[in-house]
């Protein structure tokens, strides 16, 4: 009767949580910036909307052996894409050129402007003649309208943007950008579906003579998630098979898998509900770390099934749960949003598993295990020696790596596509540092951009900005005056080529500013932010410094890496506090000597986990906190062990470490680095614990 009441109560509580989960909308936050940067910084700055603007672009490169094939390849690709979801932002060159040609004297390259300001007219004259008599040079403007070919020089200075084709290595290249414009935005399911279709189009149209390359954040995300999901599914299958095999081996039945699955599912559901109740968004990183509950759930379950004394077991279970919660409780006190979520999810998840084992497991009639494990003592000694060698090599190459490259390395195929796009298009906007320019109106903003351009040119920083394509009215007028001064004194040099009437007409031309309706040009619109703000994309390996303190410079990569380093340092300071707190609690429960004995395997596991990988990042350190929760179980149950404890610990450590070993080979470096830390830490703790508690 008591068991029935427990089951009914549990079932009702389970149903309430289920209703809560499915009745409330869940916002899963996948933006790494929102996850890793402080919330107050994200809310006050424009970093997230700017990131969304640059990271929702798919970059496409077309390659072919002939110009005609390239044009057909581009046209075929453009006709097949879903135009309701992707918008082609490739600049309309002909329309832009027509606008320029209405007043070509208003547009000068930086080089021409310098020569005009220095009045090095002879150099300009010689440059014009060399272009004029070069048989391979195609003139954009008529010679009688622009004898010094200054406008041609302006176009050539931006050739990566204005040239339709790029030709090198005996191949023709063209590029375009596809912006995701669907109302569904970057919804993962819809984005993956559309990107998959885009990749299918790429494969259909590519052959030996013509190829299409895809790059950009959405493409990287698609391949990473696809590869990770496949790998994780394989790991889940192999791990599940191992658990099934061990369960059959020890119990001659699959019945224990029912309560094991129930405890894990209930724990994850309770953790999910807690996060959903306390936070606005569910961080994607929290979901990644949530899988670690499976290992702890299995630990508790197997200890229950192998128990021979209920009193000793439930005492061990309580102390194990209590000490496992300490690392995550202190993690919550960091006040770092995603760390708080991980802490809440794990604490409540552990509590859920603890409740199921405590109240629900007695309702299941699971027979005692029929087999025991007897491993050779020498095997443990050999394993310990091998680990010592790994530790020695790890110490030699030990370092902290807070760069984003430590979390993700794209495939060679994607790296090639990114490099090719940068060469063909003239810049990789995602890797650029962004300068946000704010003005009272668009003309004022353009003037500020032009002032900044002088400073960027002095520092030899390459950049792309709106003012490069649309000079302010002041600059247009200044350019026109420079050209007029040139014509006034030097146009007679072309008397042999130009008639008197043509020369007179050029000298008498009047200034007329060219106005651009930016909304009509998708490419130019990419430089606009909100209101009259614009974005300058600067390409520099080092952090750009601007003398104007009112100018905001956004470096996504640098900002994230700085905060990752800061968070890692905070966790490194907290880690000794966590370990000391666990020791004090154990000393109160047992005594100082026994507490030290319990902590030795745990500390050896932490030391191995910190040294063997050789390279540590923020997520490696977070994994240490999870490791503490895992390994404390082994020591506590060994301290008060009954006759079958070692069997339970062996199976628990084997299944958990096996899963993390497989995951450490995952192509996604973030998951792989976490898994390596947990694998070596759990394995070391288990082996050292065997020697510490061996009679």
**306 falls within a domain:** yes
**664 falls within a domain:** yes
Name the pTM for this structure: 0.75
- For residue 474, the model assigns a pLDDT of 93
Q: Mapping DSSP to helix (H, G, I), strand (E, B) and coil, where does residue 172 land?
A: strand
With 0-12 / 13-18 / 19 or more C-beta atoms within 10 angstroms meaning exposed / middle / buried, residue 501 is exposed
- For residue 283, the model assigns a pLDDT of 66
**67 falls within a domain:** no
**505 falls within a domain:** no
**233 falls within a domain:** yes
- For residue 475, the model assigns a pLDDT of 92
Contact status, residue 604 vs residue 334, Cβ threshold 8 Å: no
Question: DSSP E strands: which ranges in 3-137?
Answer: 28-29, 57-64, 86-88
**125 falls within a domain:** no
Domain count, the chain: 1
Q: Mapping DSSP to helix (H, G, I), strand (E, B) and coil, where does residue 11 land?
A: helix
**429 falls within a domain:** no
Q: Mean pLDDT of residues grouped by 10 in the chain (695 residues)?
A: 61 64 58 59 59 74 86 87 78 75 86 88 84 68 81 76 64 82 54 83 87 85 74 75 80 80 82 80 66 71 78 83 84 77 85 84 70 70 80 80 76 83 66 80 88 84 84 92 86 80 84 84 77 80 72 76 84 89 88 89 88 82 83 82 75 81 76 84 88 77
- 682: containing domain: 2-24+220-400+558-692
**191 falls within a domain:** no
Instruction: Find the Cα–Cα–Cα–Cα dihedral 391, 394, 399, 402, rounded to 10°.
Output: -90
Q: Name 499's Cβ contacts closer than 8 Å, sequence gap at least 6.
A: none
- Distance, in Å, from the CA atom of 288 to the CA atom of 671, rounded to the nearest integer, reads 8
- For residue 185, the model assigns a pLDDT of 46
């Amino acid at each position: 009767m008591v068991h029935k009441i427990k089951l009914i109560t549990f079932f009702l509580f389970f149903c309430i949580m289920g209703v809560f989960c499915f009745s409330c909308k869940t916002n899963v936050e996948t933006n790494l910036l929102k996850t890793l940067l402080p919330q107050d910084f994200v809310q006050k700055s424009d970093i997230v909307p700017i990131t969304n603007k640059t990271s929702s672009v798919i970059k496409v490169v077309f390659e072919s052996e002939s110009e005609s094939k390239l044009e057909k390849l581009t046209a075929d690709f453009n006709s097949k894409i879903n135009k309701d979801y992707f918008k082609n932002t490739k600049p309309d060159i002909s329309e832009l050129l027509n606008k320029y040609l209405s007043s070509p004297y208003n547009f000068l390259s930086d080089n021409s402007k310098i020569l005009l300001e220095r009045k090095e007219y002879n150099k300009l004259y010689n440059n014009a003649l060399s272009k004029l008599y070069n048989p391979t040079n195609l003139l954009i403007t008529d010679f009688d309208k622009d004898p010094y070919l200054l406008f041609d020089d302006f176009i050539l200075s931006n050739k990566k943007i204005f040239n339709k084709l790029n030709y090198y290595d005996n191949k023709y290249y063209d590029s375009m950008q596809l912006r995701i414009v669907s109302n569904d935005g970057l919804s993962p399911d819809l984005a993956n579906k559309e990107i998959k279709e885009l990749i299918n189009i790429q494969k259909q149209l590519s052959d030996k003579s013509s190829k299409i390359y895809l790059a950009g954040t959405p493409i990287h995300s698609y391949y990473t998630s696809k590869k990770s999901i496949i790998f994780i599914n394989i790991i889940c299958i192999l791990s599940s098979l191992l658990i099934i095999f061990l369960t059959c081996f020890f119990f001659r039945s699959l019945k224990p898998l029912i309560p094991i699955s129930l405890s894990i599912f209930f724990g994850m559901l309770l953790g999910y509900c807690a996060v959903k109740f306390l936070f606005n968004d569910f961080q994607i990183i929290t979901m990644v770390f949530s899988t670690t509950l499976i290992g702890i759930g299995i630990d508790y379950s197997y200890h229950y099934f192998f128990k021979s004394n209920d009193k000793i077991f439930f005492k061990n279970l309580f102390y194990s749960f209590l000490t496992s919660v300490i690392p995550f409780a202190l993690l919550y006190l960091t006040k770092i949003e995603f760390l708080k979520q991980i802490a809440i999810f794990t604490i409540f998840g552990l509590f859920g598993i603890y409740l199921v084992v405590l109240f629900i497991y007695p309702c299941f009639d699971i027979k005692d295990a029929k087999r025991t494990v007897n491993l050779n003592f020498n095997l443990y000694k050999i394993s310990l020696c091998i680990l010592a060698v790994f530790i020695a090599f790890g110490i030699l190459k030990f370092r902290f790596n807070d760069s984003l490259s430590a979390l993700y390395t794209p495939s060679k195929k994607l790296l090639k596509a990114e490099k090719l796009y940068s060469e063909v298009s003239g810049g990789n906007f995602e890797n650029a540092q962004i300068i946000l320019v704010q003005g009272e109106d668009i003309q004022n903003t353009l003037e500020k951009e032009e002032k900044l351009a002088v400073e960027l040119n002095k520092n030899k920083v390459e950049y792309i900005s709106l003012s490069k394509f649309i000079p302010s009215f002041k600059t247009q007028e200044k350019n026109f005056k420079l050209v007029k001064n040139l014509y006034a004194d030097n146009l007679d040099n072309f008397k042999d080529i130009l008639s008197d009437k043509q020369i007179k007409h050029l000298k008498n031309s009047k200034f007329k500013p060219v106005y651009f309706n930016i909304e009509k040009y998708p490419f130019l619109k990419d430089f606009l932010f909100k209101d009259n703000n614009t974005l300058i994309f600067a390409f520099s390996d080092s952090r750009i410094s601007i003398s104007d303190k009112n100018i905001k410079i956004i470096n996504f990569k640098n900002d994230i890496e700085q905060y990752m380093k800061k968070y890692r340092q905070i966790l490194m300071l907290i880690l000794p506090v966590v370990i000391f707190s666990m020791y004090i609690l154990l000393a109160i429960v047992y005594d100082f000597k026994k507490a030290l004995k319990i902590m030795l395997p745990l500390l050896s596991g932490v030391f191995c986990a910190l040294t063997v990988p050789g390279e540590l990042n923020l997520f490696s350190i977070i994994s240490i906190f999870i490791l503490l929760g895992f390994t404390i179980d082994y020591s506590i149950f060994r301290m008060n062990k009954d006759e079958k404890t070692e069997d339970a610990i062996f199976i628990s450590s084997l299944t958990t470490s096996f899963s993390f070993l497989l995951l450490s080979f995952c192509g996604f470096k973030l998951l792989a680095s976490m898994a390596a830390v947990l694998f070596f830490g759990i394995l070391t703790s288990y082996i050292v614990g065997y020697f510490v508690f061996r009679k």
